[in-house]
Structure 1
Amino acid sequence: MKDNFSSQSELYAKYRPHYPNDFFKFLDSTLTSKNIAWDCGTGNGQVAYQLSKMFTKVYATDISDAQLKHAFQLENIEYSLQPAERTNFAENSFDCITIAQAIHWFDFELFYKEVKRTAKKNAVIAAIGYGRIETSKDMDHIIDHFYQHTIGSFWDKERRYIDEKYKMIPFPFEEIKTPDFSFEMNWTEEQLIGYINTWSAVKHYTKQNGINPVYKLQSMIKPFWENQKEIKVSFPLLLRMGYVT
């Protein structure tokens, strides 16, 4: 599993979007037991926090100590520094395993072997993510050009799984049919620029060229805030769910 986010963990915690409540209600409806959950690749614990409302105990893991230092702290969440593909959890431990905006970085074969080892029979596995940000037609055109051309060659090859909306990731489980989810927010210019600065390709571009390409992008989209403090942004939820049989 790659670690592209330790060096920007504060930005990640502050600017990454949160997942919609409707998704967690749907997840809850698929569960037959709510004792123990594992949130793998937890980052700053966004999903672990939501799971803590449903489960007696949540174990949350990541390979980034910097991310875990910014995680939500609750009594029934236990964080640990562990790779997705090799953990110290006992066999048949979990009623639910979630992976939010992270599964595309994993070694699928080794991770799924670990899922099958640690999951209880008929546990739910949910691979969650979010696609490309959507704003207005005119701003989307500018951001899409930045995404595909300015920093396009700086994306890790695993990014294609997100562009393919998780449809092409291997998923050897009894698949659960899911509704379409999306989430909307009103963001300031600072929030949008802060979010784009969390993109791994921005980090790679900046490291290679010595300049952050977001500065130029910000000047191009600044006029959209001339008559308003906030704009509406939305993200489609990427989702694969199944039962571990």
Structure 2
Amino acid sequence: MAARYFEAAAHALAYSKFRPGPPASLISRIVNFLQEKYSGSLNSAIDVGCGSGQSTTPLAKYFANVNGFDVSEAQINEAIEKNNLNNVSYKVNPAETLPFKDASAQLITSCQASHWFDLPKFYKEADRILVQNGVLALYGYYFPHALWKDKDFHNFLISVYENDTKGYWTEERFDVDNGYTDRKYIIPFGECLREDNFFTETKATVRDLEGYITSWSGFQRLKTQKGEEAGQQILNNFVKRVMNTVGNDMKPEDVEVTLRYEFFLILGRKT
């Protein structure tokens, strides 16, 4: 059963606003890998652990039908609210029991979510649903580098993670830190490969970085256990450290940084 750590509406909203979508080059690579050995129509793609839909909508340009699933009703509600694509739909559903017939989908993806799954059951379900030469793609991203002029605020984010929210993360989070390099992420299909040469860059403000921290499951867990005030103090200290580095009278909402997210990708082909 997939873990449930993103249930609150406020958390879902933060996730929707402050989490990155995948690089176009990564999605293109997934589709190209599929089409290397699958020559049929691209009728169905499934995005599992879709959250608020950032990883789901990029599939719409390639597939006739795209379905996003997540165990969090709040996340799915957020995805539905912002969806404007006729060929994309969302539903609350666990990763391990998907509502599809055997050999009915060409692609199954999961972004920054498969560390929450019961992987043996999920792999079995993916094998059941995928057509011959269909593809399962697992991918994710590391903590971003936040670049401002010649400065990188990455270490400030890492400090919040390793110090301020220490003890409030589950062990699954460390699989992401390690880029899904544990053997359990070797997809048990006839063909499996890994690629690490993807990144995306977006513009954000220091205030947005503060919002990004609120989307962390560890931060949300700390706030639940220690209270809103404790969580706000962490955010205030983070903003103060960053603004001291900026060293002028600018406001956090006026300091624009470049966020660089580096992605890793694991591809498995059902043969």
Structure 2 counterpart of 1:63, from 26, 46, 71: 71
In the other structure, the counterpart of 1:28 is 31
Q: Shift of residue 179 of structure 1?
A: 5.2
Out of 228, 237, 245, the residue aligned to residue 263 of structure 2 is: 237
1:118-145 C-alpha deviation (Å, 9 max, x unpaired): 1111111111111111125652222222
Q: Structure 1 stretch 24-33 or stretch 98-107: which is displaced more?
A: 24-33
My pick for the range that moved more, 172-181 or 160-169, is: 172-181
Query: 1:76, CA displacement in angstroms?
Result: 0.9
How many Å apart are 1:57 and its aligned residue?
A: 0.8
Of the three residues 211, 224, 229, the one matched with 1:194 is 211
Query: 1:149-190: CA deviations, max 9, x gaps?
Result: 221211111001101111114321311353511111221112
Query: What is the correspondence of 1:38-53 to structure 2 with a 5 Å cutoff?
Result: 38-53=46-61
Gaps of 5+ in 2: none
Asked if residue 3 in structure 1 is aligned to residue 22 in structure 2, the reply is no
Equivalent of residue 75 in structure 1, options 82, 86, 92: 86
Superposition map of 1:147-166 within 5 A:
147-166=161-180
**What is the CA distance between 1:56 and its match in structure 2?**
0.7
Counterparts in 2 of 1:170 and 1:110: CA distance versus 1, 3 Å: same
Distance 2:135 2:162 in 1: 35
Structure 2: which amino acid aligns with 1:243?
R
Instruction: Measure how far apart 1:229 and its partner are.
Output: 2.5
Q: 1: CA distance between counterparts of 2:159 and 2:255? A: 24
2:68 and 2:20 map into 1 onto residues whose CA distance is: 19
Q: Using the TM superposition, give the Cα deviation of residue 44 of structure 1 relative to its aligned residue in structure 2, in angstroms.
A: 1.1
Conserved 8 A contact 1:59-1:78: yes
- Cα 1:54–1:224 change in 2 (3 A) is farther
CA–CA distance in structure 1, aligned partners of residues 219 and 180 of structure 2: 22
Aligned pair count? 245
Q: Aligned-pair distance for 1:77?
A: 1.4
SS at match of 2:146: coil
Where in structure 2 are the equivalents of 1:197-236 lying within 5 Å? Answer: 197-210=214-227, 211-212=230-231, 213-225=234-246, 226=248, 229-236=255-262
Q: Which secondary structure state, in structure 2, belongs to the residue aligned with residue 214 of structure 1?
A: helix
The one-letter code sitting in structure 2 at the alignment partner of 1:153 is G
Cα distance in 2 between the residues matched to 1:51 and 1:140: 30
1:175 partnered with 2:189: no
**Could you tell me how far apart the structure 1 residues matched to 2:245 and 2:20 are?**
21
**Cα distance change on mapping 1:185 and 1:196 into 2, 3 Å:** same
CA change 1:215–1:229 in 2 (3 A) is closer
**Separation of aligned partners in 2, 1:151 and 1:3:** 19
Shift of 1:222: 2.3
Is 1:18–1:46's contact at 8 Å kept on the other side of the alignment?
A: yes
Quote the residue 2:124 is aligned against.
113
What is the TM-score when the length of structure 1 is the normalising length?
A: 0.93
- C-alpha deviations, 1:57-102, integer Å up to 9, x for none? 1121111111111112421112221100112211111100000110
Q: Does 1:143 align with 2:157?
A: yes
Question: CA–CA distance in 2 between the matches of 1:120 and 1:157?
Answer: 33
Structure 2 counterpart of 1:23, one-letter code: L
Residue pair 1:176, 1:243 contacting (<8 A) in 2 also: no
Q: Report the identity percentage.
A: 31
Q: 8 Å contact 2:205–2:255 — kept in the other structure?
A: yes
CA distance in 2, matches of 1:24, 1:113: 23
Where structure 1 has 5 or more consecutive residues not aligned to the other structure, the ranges are none
